[in-house]
Structure 1
Amino acid sequence: MKKRKVAAVFLILGFLLVYLMFILHRDSSYNADPLRDTVSTSTPQPLGLEHEENGESFQYGIMFDAGSTGTRIHVFKFQVVDKEIPRLKNETFKAISPGLSAYADDPDACTPGIMELLEVAKTSVPQSLWSVTPLVLKATAGLRLLPGQLADKLLDKVRALFQESPFPSKEESVSVMDGTDEGISAWITVNFLTGGLQSSDSSTVGILDLGGGSTQITFSPKDEKTIQISPVDDIRSFQVFNKTHTLYAHSYLGLGLVSVRRAILENPDFGSTVVTSICMSPDFETTFEQANIIYTLKGQKAGEPAYEPCRTKMEKFLYKKVTKVSEAADLDFYAFSYYYDLAAELNLIDLKKGGTLRVSDYTTAAQKVCGNLVTSPPKIPSLCLDLLYISVLLQELGFPLDKELKLARTINDMETSWALGATIHYMETLGFFPKTSPIPDRAVTDFSPIGSPTKSRCF
């Protein structure tokens, strides 16, 4: 009997020893993964720090922006201080074209471009930090518009190339970004650069982004009614730098400027291979292919008015496609991408410094350009159409003609791309930044990370 008891004791001790060894091995393996899904509270310092001689600490993040017209790499260098919001020290940027979606029929053909951009990352990040610098690719409207199978094959090719690089990258680190998340990331970027994220009050700004394939509007509502009456998918709550933010965020896929040009211009009547557009100058002519048929697109006939007919066409095109925002007239907004590019093209703002415009400035510019298509054809053939689209779109979104918008390509000499905001959120979520001191905010009953709608409809 005693022998059986002794054997039982040794057996139990053996099981305990094996269990403890398993726990220790599991924890050591878990803590060694720099891209783990949650962060261990016992981690003594954030991951991937470079300590320079002057005692400052830095971290790097790499973001690929796979847009509809090109692929860009952003390598961000952050200075980190314990319990403080990180500071962006500099950014390395390079762009290549065409966009990733151009290789839909031959994914392998994207390899040289991706490898070229990875070389930029290698030369921008100290080699000692390659293994702890996260590598991410987010594709936007160009891939969102592709059939799922074609997009998946492209992303799988990029994943394989990333796995061969010296930078850590998970399978989910290469993905198609939801349009709403693109807007939220841009909102984080702008409010990080303007100081809104560092403020204890609610002094944040909204953003308007007009890309080639989609357009976004994102802001932090000041009126609780906005949250209550908005569709649940348009209200997102998330946490960044120890503060919870609740945003109205809506993305309109297919309402980017390039998509709208195609929808308005490339709409041939049945049985005809010649398309005439009232929005284009008389001397304009080009061809395009649709459903294996070659069409000819021509401008208006000389002497025909353009402004009113083209405006009417825009109003019909946008009818019931966008939702008016009740707070649009009262909040400060920054506008980017084609909003900026067209204003700079017309010298309405400084090309490098940006500026401030009213919605009516786009309308006035459209009247001038559309009214002079015969005598002064614009360098951009679709400029009349583009300006009218922006003018009508802004008004349909709820912005009055006298509403002022701030246009900026950079803030404090840093680019205003959504890539910065996405990198900040990604790195903080995975524990690459130190915990910051809490910033007082409006309490919410629940919050969801970027990528899922909030469950709560009120503060």
Structure 2
Amino acid sequence: MKPTMPLLLLVLLNVAGQSQAQIKNSILDLTNSIRSILPSLSRPANHSRIFYAVMFDAGSTGTRIHVYTFIQSVSEKLPVLDNEMFHSIKPGLSAYADSPEMGGHTVRMLLKVAKKTVPRLEWKRTPVVLRATAGLRLLATEKAQALLDQVQHVFDESPFLVPDNSVSIMNGTNEGILAWISLNFLTGHLNAQTKKTVGILDLGGGSTQITFLPKQRKTIESVPVADYVARFDMFNSTFELYTYSYLGNGLMAARLATLGALGAEGLEWRVFKSSCLPKKFRDEWSFGGLTYHVSGDPDGYSGYKLCYQEVLKVVKGFIHQPYELEDSNVFYAFSYYFDRAVDAGLIDGVQGGMLEVRDFKKRAKEVCNKMTKYALISPFLCLDMTYITCLLKDGFGFKESTVLQLTKKVNNVEASWALGATLDHFYNLKIH
């Protein structure tokens, strides 16, 4: 019996990558913490069936597993999301581009979470699905496919239900749409008569997404290409969204682009310098399976103004500014928007909070002009905060007074596209 459309969904937990030396510790940490479960939502007293789903989010900086428990009530048409078990491991699958078997091994380790969460009798009825995002989109096709083939092999060996198309690279547009569906379900804004919705800003490692429901027709009519408009069917209604996924404008990819290292050769001997980094800083930094030598500019100047000029080259001319932004939606910002706001001391790491765009700008100036003070938190904090400021202002075109809701969870559920992808698997939302 197929369940009908549930009412709750979720957001992305994006975390910075680790070096190869930390992989074994990550796996040990995973094994030791499998028993930790996020707080359950209230369980209906009367229920006829409990069912489960397993969704893997293979991001550029980590692989995450979401194990969902749904309850189909006798008296309710809509199932309820009762519980989410979440765990992540670093680095992401793309770090294993040259050793796909090791990438498959990390997925095999994460499947232990599913085995601990889903009752054994339900394993053969519980679908397991993996969707990869920008990390694999940025890889050469043959390397990405080798990783997907390894994951497919691990799934086929598992005791779970392996549906058709269970392992694939997700379309960037779908990533934004499914996150939008998730956040609007969780905030109670999605129904057939909806007049007010929330927009989403998702900043991953390799890509970034903006999605909202326009109120003005001109927003749809003024897009540069048709790819900025997407439609999906739900509640016998068709939603028409402004949405776009910018590959290469995620936070980690933007670091590389700012440093001039994106797609560069000679990585074994080249040192990539930036005025966004502390003058005396010099280290190795890894992303997407490659290691880069990075440093500040010991003989030059550093600080916010010079850093802004560097990151502006990564943003200006690449990001389209929608016709309407300010009056149409409240925007929820998550993933690295949230993480860096926490690192910079702008919001609480549990509660999140409301921030104006100018708050990012003000703190970016402070961090960049006092790099030594903030270097212990992260030597990249100046670059990251400046990039976020530039992306919001000169990229998307938000006013400095625009208020954003920085969030990690909504109603105790991780906010991300992953639950939206689970629902799409069950119910076919007809995204086009």
Show the counterpart of 2:256.
Answer: 262
Q: Pick from 258, 262, 281: which aligns with 2:278?
A: 281
C-alpha contact 2:220 2:229 (8 A) present in aligned 1? yes
Aligned counterparts, 1:20-419, within 5 A: 46=3, 54-81=46-73, 84-198=77-191, 200-230=193-223, 231-267=225-261, 273-287=270-284, 296-301=293-298, 304-330=301-327, 331-374=329-372, 377-395=375-393, 396-419=395-418
C-alpha contact 1:240 1:428 (8 A) present in aligned 2? no
Show the counterpart of 1:449.
Answer: 430
Show the counterpart of 1:8.
Answer: none
- C-alpha displacement at 1:185, in angstroms? 1.1
With 372-381 and 387-396 compared, the bigger mean Cα shift is at: 372-381
Secondary structure at 2:218 match in 1: helix
- C-alpha displacement at 1:179, in angstroms? 1.1
Larger Rg: 1
Show the counterpart of 2:19.
Answer: none
C-alpha contact 1:205 1:333 (8 A) present in aligned 2? yes
**Aligned partner letter, 1:228:** E
Distance 1:399 1:111, change over 3 A: same
**Aligned partner letter, 1:360:** R
Distance 1:253 1:88, change over 3 A: same
**Aligned partner letter, 2:66:** H
Cα deviation code 1:77-120 (max 9, x no counterpart): 12224663332111011112221112222222223322222222
Cα deviation code 1:13-65 (max 9, x no counterpart): xxxxxxxxxxxxxxxxxxxxxxxxxxxxxx6x649xxx999434322111011
Supply the distance in 2 between the matched residues of 1:54 and 1:296 (Cα, whole angstroms): 59
- C-alpha displacement at 1:277, in angstroms? 1.7
- Unaligned 5+ runs, structure 2: 5-42
Q: Percent identity?
A: 45
Secondary structure at 2:178 match in 1: helix
**Aligned partner letter, 1:325:** P
- Unaligned 5+ runs, structure 1: 1-42, 430-447, 453-459
Supply the distance in 2 between the matched residues of 1:379 and 1:303 (Cα, whole angstroms): 23
- C-alpha displacement at 1:298, in angstroms? 2.7
Supply the distance in 2 between the matched residues of 1:164 and 1:348 (Cα, whole angstroms): 45
Supply the distance in 1 between the matched residues of 2:259 and 2:66 (Cα, whole angstroms): 34
Distance 1:242 1:163, change over 3 A: farther
**Aligned partner letter, 1:166:** P
Aligned length: 385
With 389-398 and 370-379 compared, the bigger mean Cα shift is at: 370-379
Secondary structure at 1:138 match in 2: strand
Question: What TM-score does the superposition give when structure 1 sets the normalisation length?
Answer: 0.78
C-alpha contact 1:191 1:205 (8 A) present in aligned 2? yes
**Aligned partner letter, 1:202:** K
Secondary structure at 1:362 match in 2: helix
Supply the distance in 2 between the matched residues of 1:202 and 1:403 (Cα, whole angstroms): 20
CA RMSD in angstroms, aligned pairs only = 2.8
Secondary structure at 2:168 match in 1: strand
Secondary structure at 1:326 match in 2: coil
Distance 1:288 1:449, change over 3 A: same
Supply the distance in 2 between the matched residues of 1:345 and 1:194 (Cα, whole angstroms): 26
C-alpha contact 2:214 2:220 (8 A) present in aligned 1? yes
Secondary structure at 1:278 match in 2: coil
Supply the distance in 2 between the matched residues of 1:209 and 1:65 (Cα, whole angstroms): 14
**Aligned partner letter, 1:313:** E
Secondary structure at 1:191 match in 2: helix
Supply the distance in 1 between the matched residues of 2:61 and 2:270 (Cα, whole angstroms): 27
**Aligned partner letter, 1:256:** G
Supply the distance in 2 between the matched residues of 1:376 and 1:114 (Cα, whole angstroms): 35
Supply the distance in 2 between the matched residues of 1:260 and 1:229 (Cα, whole angstroms): 27
C-alpha contact 2:192 2:236 (8 A) present in aligned 1? no
Show the counterpart of 1:29.
Answer: none
Supply the distance in 1 between the matched residues of 2:414 and 2:292 (Cα, whole angstroms): 39
C-alpha contact 2:355 2:403 (8 A) present in aligned 1? yes
